[in-house]
């Protein structure tokens, strides 16, 4: 009997300990930790307003909404009609953000975006980190330069990259330092290249960019997010200079 009571007492203690154990808290969205602030990170989206953003080539912002703390591209802009950019410009930086798409979603992250009277759309001048639902994509067969993580139609991502399915969050990072660029996807570097070299110029001349002489020429500029016909969500958009 004493052994049984001892066993039951121990069991009760174990159960109470499990119940009292603090639950692991999920990190809050659109918030910087003290460590991130000490490292020089700043938020580009506060989760509540469009402060610091506007449409490319316009002073206003349309085609986007704030959806429960996420920036949501409504996919109504047609061919890049509602792409948005930061009001601030950057030169050497590390950019990090989370994104997810709807089925068949197609979007992108631009950098070194400059507005020019000779430029009608942001893609004519700014390199693009490709965002796409390639796992359930039902359009034309994607070439390597159109796959997630690519420098669009320039440099291809590695084949064994980790891409989350539709509806789940991916993390992307872009590091730009004196023309040396890294594309990261879910913790792995998937593309690395150097801008403004003979190799860069040769690729431009061989791809669609031969028709856009200003493409990739700016050495600083705005960060941009693409609205390209499908809903895409963004959160935790942060940047630090390097």
- Dihedral pair phi/psi, residue 153, rounded to 5°: 55, 30
Mean pLDDT by 10 residues, the chain (242 residues): 47 47 67 97 98 96 97 81 95 98 95 95 97 90 96 97 96 98 98 98 97 97 94 97 96
Helices (H) and strands (E) in the chain, counts: 3, 13
Q: What is the pLDDT of residue 18?
A: 47
The Cα–Cα gap between 220 and 86 comes to 12
Q: What is the pLDDT of residue 229?
A: 83
Q: Which residues form the domain of 143? A: 31-241
* pTM of the complete model: 0.88
Is residue 15 in some structural domain?
no
Query: How many CA atoms lie within 13 Å of 46's alpha carbon, on the beta-carbon side?
Result: 6
Is residue 4 in some structural domain?
no
Is residue 23 in some structural domain?
no
Is residue 22 in some structural domain?
no
Is residue 19 in some structural domain?
no
Q: What is the pLDDT of residue 7?
A: 47
| Count of domains forming the chain | 1
Q: Residue 36 belongs to what H/E stretch?
A: helix 34-38
Is residue 21 in some structural domain?
no
Q: Collapse the DSSP code of 146 into the 3-class scheme (helix H, G, I; strand E, B; otherwise coil) and give the result.
A: helix
Is residue 10 in some structural domain?
no
CB 67: neighbour CB atoms within 10 A?
12
Is residue 17 in some structural domain?
no
CATH at 92: 2.60.120.560
């Amino acid at each position: 009997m004493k052994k049984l009571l001892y066993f039951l007492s121990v069991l009760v203690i174990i159960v109470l300990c499990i119940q009292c154990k603090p639950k692991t808290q999920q990190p809050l969205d659109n918030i910087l930790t003290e460590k991130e602030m000490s490292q020089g990170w700043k938020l580009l989206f506060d989760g509540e307003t469009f402060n610091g953003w506007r449409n490319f080539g316009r002073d206003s912002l349309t085609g986007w909404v704030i959806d429960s703390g996420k920036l949501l591209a409504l996919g109504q802009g047609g061919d890049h009609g509602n792409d948005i950019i930061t009001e601030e410009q950057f030169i050497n930086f590390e950019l990090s953000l989370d994104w997810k798409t709807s089925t068949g979603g197609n979007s992108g992250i631009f950098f070194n975006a400059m507005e020019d009277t000779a430029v009608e759309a942001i893609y004519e001048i700014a390199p693009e980190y490709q965002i796409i639902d390639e796992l359930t994509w039902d359009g034309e067969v994607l070439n390597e330069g159109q796959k997630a993580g690519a420098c669009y139609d320039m440099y291809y991502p590695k084949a064994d990259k980790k891409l989350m399915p539709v509806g789940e969050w991916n993390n992307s990072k872009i590091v730009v330092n004196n023309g040396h660029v890294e594309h990261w996807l879910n913790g792995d570097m998937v593309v690395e290249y150097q801008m403004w070299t003979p190799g860069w110029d040769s690729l431009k001349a061989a791809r669609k960019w031969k028709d856009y002489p200003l493409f990739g020429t700016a050495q600083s500029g705005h960060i941009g997010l693409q609205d390209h016909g499908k809903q895409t969500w963004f959160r935790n958009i942060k940047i630090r200079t390097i």
